[in-house]
Amino acid sequence: MTSPNSVQRFVSAPARVAAPDEALSLDELQLAARNHGMPLEALRYDVTPAGLHYLLVHYDIPFVDAAGWRLAVTGHVARELTIDLAALRSMPRTTRRVTFECAGNGRARLSPRPISQPWLTEAVGTAEWAGVPLATVLGEAGVLPGAVDVAFTGADHGIERGVEQDYARGLGLSDAMDGEVLLADEMNGAPLPPQHGAPVRLVAPGWYGMAQVKWLQRVNVLDRPFDGFQNATAYRFKQGDEAGEPVTRILPRALMVPPGFPDFMSRVRIVDTGRHLLTGRTWSGWGPITGVEVSTDGGATWGDAALDPADPGGRWAWRKWSYEWAAVTEGPTELLCRATDQLGQVQPVEQPWNRQGMANNMVQRIPVLVRGG
Ligand X SMILES: Nc1nc2c(c(=O)[nH]1)N[C@H]1C(S)=C(S)[C@@H](COP(=O)(O)O)O[C@H]1N2
Interface residue list for ligand X (CB under 6 A): 53-58, 100, 102, 154, 156, 167, 196, 209-210, 212-215
Closest approach, Cβ 309 to ligand X, in A, equals 27
Binding flag, residue 56, Mo ion (CB under 5 A): yes
| Of the candidate residues 61, 77, 83, 102, the single one contacting Mo ion (CB under 5 A) | 102
Q: In the chain, how many H helices and how many E strands? A: 6, 22
Report which of 363, 294, 364, 281 is spatially closest to residue 326, judged by C-alpha positions: 294
Q: State the number of binding residues for Mo ion (CB under 5 A).
A: 3
Nearer to ligand X, 167 or 325 (CB): 167
| Residue 212 partner contact from ligand X, Mo ion, none using kind-dependent CB cut-offs of 5 to 8 Å | ligand X
> What long-range pairs does 61-64 form, CB within 8 A, spacing at least 24?
61/156, 61/194, 61/195, 62/154, 62/155, 62/156, 62/157, 62/215, 63/194, 64/155, 64/194, 64/198, 64/199, 64/215
Nearer to ligand X, 51 or 348 (CB): 51
Binding mask 8-47 for Mo ion (x = CB under 5 A): ----------------------------------------
Nearer to Mo ion, 56 or 198 (CB): 56
Nearer to Mo ion, 91 or 163 (CB): 163
Q: Which stretch binds Mo ion (CB under 5 A): 48-56, 65-73, 266-274, 350-358?
A: 48-56
Point out the residue whose Cβ comes nearest to ligand X.
Answer: 209
Give the residue ranges of DSSP H helices in 35-114. Answer: 85-89
Closest approach, Cβ 192 to ligand X, in A, equals 9
- Residue 256 neighbours by CB under 8 Å, 6+ apart: 40, 43, 278, 279, 280, 294, 335, 337, 364, 366
Binding flag, residue 183, Mo ion (CB under 5 A): no
Binding flag, residue 108, Mo ion (CB under 5 A): no
**Amino acid at site 283:** W
Closest approach, Cβ 337 to Mo ion, in A, equals 23
User: Judging by beta carbons within 10 Å of its beta carbon (0-12, 13-18, 19+), is residue 86 exposed, middle or buried?
Assistant: exposed
User: Do strands 274-283 and 319-327 pair parallel, antiparallel, or not at all (unpaired)?
Assistant: antiparallel
Closest approach, Cβ 187 to ligand X, in A, equals 8
Nearer to ligand X, 34 or 89 (CB): 34
- Residue 61 neighbours by CB under 8 Å, 6+ apart: 156, 194, 195
Closest approach, Cβ 239 to Mo ion, in A, equals 21
Point out the residue whose Cβ comes nearest to Mo ion.
Answer: 102
User: Judging by beta carbons within 10 Å of its beta carbon (0-12, 13-18, 19+), is residue 138 exposed, middle or buried?
Assistant: buried
> Alpha-carbon distance 208 to 169, whole Å?
12
Binding flag, residue 209, Mo ion (CB under 5 A): yes
Closest approach, Cβ 170 to Mo ion, in A, equals 16
Interface residue list for Mo ion (CB under 5 A)? 56, 102, 209
